[in-house]
Structure 1
Amino acid sequence: MPFNRKAHKFSASIGTVEIGTGDKAIKLGGENVMPFYTFDGSMGDGPKVGVEITDLGLDAEPQGVKDYYAGCTSFADIAKKAEAMPGGDFVVLRLAGGDPNGANKSTEELVAIAKEVSDAISCPLVVEGSKNVEKDAELLPKVAQALEGKNVLLMSAKEENYKAIGAAAALAYNQKVGAESAVDINLAKQLNVVMTQLGVSAQSIVMNTGSAAAGYGFDYTISTFDRVRAAALGQDDKMLQMPIITPVASETWSVKESTAEESDAPEFWGPVEERGIAMEVETAVACLVSASDAVILKHPKSVATISEFIKSLM
């Protein structure tokens, strides 16, 4: 008996959020099918790949990352090289040094770095905070002001600080906002609801519904992706129809599989950097086939691999 495949079509679609300006602006979202079901409908412009850099420079980065940025002497130089990385669609500046429990850089210093990076590139820019809610509530509004007119995406708006970040980024300076929740469909929806009640347009919100490295509670991440996308398309839930962006690099390069020296367990550990690339690629692929409209990576090999993966399925 022949197999007669039935198309899985939805009347709903994921909203489109544009970041950047000019010819290099990109659109996230826009699909009306489950991930890569291009035989049933449209994937919009397709998932995008971001290249992560940080305000902490290159000292702690994997050797392959250092090699790629060899010769860079300023944040502007690093940003230009990130923009030129084959397979990348946008640059992501993670302001990790703002964490009061870490380097505790001042808001003024971090805003200056963000301005330097923004002025050096022509592709879209995404700015992540420090993961400290109080510092980000102070820092990201100042970044939004300094980068007015650049149409950047400011991530790290959480339940505890969304009013400060949302009001400044989307309402005062017409930027886009990343709504970050902790791996729970209800928390993700609630944050979108209160952001829109604040006055932020749904077309200005990108969701970060949580992330983890593959093997580290990753089943919760994937199940949340699946539930969010099923509700958005199958139930036409307007408060879950925002595109999803997932910071992969910061999760995968911090776990033991990416950091443990081969000598720690020579019987089964391979080269440390190869393991890190594998973790980054595997995690990114799983996120993309579940619902992510954009993933954030940092190793040149990972960026190139994931870019080719996306093209092969579009």
Structure 2
Amino acid sequence: MANTITNTNYNFPGQKNVYKGKVREVYELEDDLLVMIATDRLSAFDVVMPKGIPCKGQILNQIATKMMDATSDIVPNWLEATPDPNVAVGAKCEPFKVEMVIRGYMAGHAAREYKAGKRELCGVTLPDGLKENDAFPEPIITPATKAEMGDHDEDISREDIIGRGIVSEEDYKVLEDYTRKLFQRGTEIAAERELILVDTKYEFGKTADGKIVLIDEIHTPDSSRYFYMKGYEERQRQGEPQKQLSKEFVRQWLIQNDFQGLPGQTVPVMSDEYIETVSERYIELYENITGSKFEKADVSNIEERIERNVVGYLEQRS
């Protein structure tokens, strides 16, 4: 097994505090600066798996930062620099307490809800007669409340978000507009690589001067689902599963092993061999969505490498 990074404990110059999410660890520094480290942790059904996935943090960080660069002309984002393959540095923001989920196709969570007989998701009415993985007439926004580590994200409607004061109506309109623009751009980028962006989620925050910006990750296999474009129509006609690149294959493996994050369930053991296949799938997605070969960073001492690169960047910046 390759070296992985599943936990960090740094003390960077000017450090004020640390927030540890399901996958990323965020170090807050003076001058409203954040250092976000993408670990190799794997989360599914809002549960962090016991073992890390080799190269996963690097892949997530590099896809997210490439996609932020590719969308910065239509939606502003928090990113300032990427001093290390696993690290992004940018402006501190006050995050909105919702995840903006947008779906172009009935897959994953939406398909499971639909199969259970539900015809409304987050206040959005779903048409009858859809098959799993069919395209919606137009993309739908199905927000979720943002959970802390170990808790479950929960579906929530636009009306509840505004009515409960989670986000003001004025700000929510901006979030919706940005979400649709990002999904359209992401769809175009995916199509260039002969992929279909099926669904994804975006997170936003507000800077100290009141500007709404994109934060966290974008168009990664942890936040998005992709289908291969080639053969999509034929597989739908035949009622066959779609060939996809996303974290859904991990969820399906967990379901097959009687785990969906429900009370009383135990996380099944992932063998080293299976973990290597998960890492290979993440590399496959990276190369497909970016159109470039994955260059594995030095993992002989990941913790030391990150510290050296971040401290070097901060010294150069000051």
TM-score scaled by structure 1? 0.29
Answer 1 or 2: which has greater strand percent: 2
Q: Which has the higher helix share?
A: 1
- What TM-score, normalized by structure 2, do the two folds share? 0.29
